[in-house]
Amino acid sequence: MSPSWKTPGCKHWNCWSPCRPSWKHCRDQGRSLMEVLGLPISAYWIEPLLIGVQILLILLAGYVLQRVVGGFLTGLGERYPLPPELLVPVRGGLRWLIMGSAFVFVLGRLGVSATVLWTALSGFVAVAAVAFFAMWSVLSNLLCAILIFTIGPFRIGDMVELVDTLDKPGVKGRVVAINLMFTTLIETPEAGGALVQVPNSQFFQKSVRRWRGSDLFPQMVAAKPADEQD
C-alpha cells in the first residue's frame, strides 16, 4: 500500500488495523470524525459514554434476570406446596447473588483489576466453604425439607414410622407439621401421644413406613361405633 494512504503523524494505516492501535490514535481519529460530522460531543467523552452505556446495560440485565427468577420461584410456589418461609430466603439469596455478580461486572468495566476481583472472589468462596461445612447439619435438613415439599414422600395427616432395625422399633406417629428443620409427629395413644420432632434428614437416611391419612380415615370411622357402644 502506498504511504500516501497513511494518516499524517500516525504509525497505523487506519483505526481497523489488526495491530490494535492505541487509544490516543483512535481518539484523534474520532475527534477528526466528530469535527467532519459536526457533532457536538467531544472525542474525549466517547470512552466514558461507552462505559456508562455498558454499565447501564449490565444493571438492566441484572434487574431483568432478577425479575425472571422471582417469577419462576412464584410459579414454583404455586405449583408445589412450598411454604413462604422457604421461598423468601431462597429468593433473597438469589437476588443478592445476581446483584453481586452485576456489581463485579460493573467494577470490571470501571477498570478494577481482574486479579483483585479474582482474589476477593476466591476469599469469599473459601469463607463460604468453611461456613458450609460448619453448618452442614442445618443445610442438610433444609435441603431435605425442600425435597419433602417437592417430591412428597409423605404429607401432613399421614402416619409414618422410621424403621431402625428389626429389634429396635423406630419413631411412629401422625405428621402434624413440617418446617425447614423438623417434621413434627404425634405418637399413637399406645406410645403416650407425645409430640416428637424428627430432623428432616432422618427421613432420607432410614427406611420409612407410610400410611396415608385417607386410608386411615375409614378405619377410624368404622371403629367409632364400637367406642360409642362402650
List the chain domain ranges: 9-40, 56-134, 154-213
Q: What is the pLDDT of residue 51?
A: 83
Answer yes or no: pTM beyond 0.85. Answer: no
- CA distance linking residue 72 with residue 186, whole number of Å: 35
Residue by residue, pLDDT tens for the chain (230 residues) are 444 444 444 444 444 444 444 445 545 554 554 555 555 555 567 777 888 888 899 999 999 998 898 888 888 877 776 777 677 778 888 888 888 888 888 888 887 776 777 787 778 878 877 877 777 778 888 888 888 888 888 888 889 888 876 666 678 889 998 888 889 998 887 777 788 888 888 888 888 888 886 555 444 444 444 444 44
How many CB atoms are closer than 10 A to CB 102? Answer: 19
At 177 the three-state DSSP class reads: strand
> Cα–Cα distance between 101 and 49 in angstroms, integer?
22
Nearby residues of 158 by Cβ (< 8 Å), 6 or more positions away: 174, 175, 210, 211, 212, 213
Q: Would you say domain 154-213 falls under CATH 2.30.30.60?
A: yes
